[in-house]
Amino acid sequence: MELSELQNECLACRRCPLCETRTHVVFGQGVPNAEVLFVGEGPGASEDEQGLPFVGRSGQLLDHYLEAVDLSRDKNVFIANIVKCRPPQNRDPLPEETQACLPWLRRQFQLLQPKIVVCLGRVAAQQLIDPGYSVTHDHGKFVEKGGTLFMATYHPAALLRYPVNKPAVFGDFAALREKICERCTHTY
């Protein structure tokens, strides 16, 4: 199975009620041999319109941080979300929506076999690292799970609201760059 085949299956998904209100399924975007996987929460309005992750204002900010450490969705990373369809009014995904959608992320994970997973914000961090995860206290720390390193940082949309955390995120991306140099073979 290739990522493109999984994408075709995912685009037809009707496993939860978000399929009724979505414009597009947002499967994810990036290179198929990515060693670093970024995981956000779920599509917003711009992502739902375009079918691509992080293309609105918070996406521009994410691209800026990626670029600062020589990463890009066109070149060497993959970007996905916990839920692939937009929750109405940008509310947090409901537990049943998350549970219905997680098998898609698991299969993305199995195909990519990333060395490092970066959670963007609380929803992804609590789902993938620890249900009690606090981004404020724990951002930038790497934890190993089943041979993969996980780290979380502030969600770019949160940074647009609280720019005071921007330097902390630069620090997290600098730490990420170091970890990539240690653990990855073809990202740089």
User: Applying CB under 6 A, does 87 fall inside the site for ligand URA?
Assistant: no
Total site size for ligand URA, rule CB under 6 A:
13
**Cα–Cα distance for residue pair 108/118, rounded to 1 Å:** 14
User: Applying CB under 6 A, does 30 fall inside the site for ligand URA?
Assistant: no
The only residue of 58, 98, 153, 187 in contact with ligand URA, by rule CB under 6 A:
58
**Cα–Cα distance for residue pair 99/70, rounded to 1 Å:** 33
User: Applying CB under 6 A, does 44 fall inside the site for ligand URA?
Assistant: yes
User: Applying CB under 6 A, does 133 fall inside the site for ligand URA?
Assistant: no
Q: Which is nearer to ligand URA, 59 or 114 (CB)?
A: 59
User: Applying CB under 6 A, does 47 fall inside the site for ligand URA?
Assistant: yes
User: Applying CB under 6 A, does 114 fall inside the site for ligand URA?
Assistant: no
The only residue of 10, 34, 40, 48 in contact with ligand URA, by rule CB under 6 A:
40
* Residues of the shown chain interacting with ligand URA in the complex, contacts defined by CB under 6 A: 26, 40-44, 47, 53-54, 58-59, 81, 157
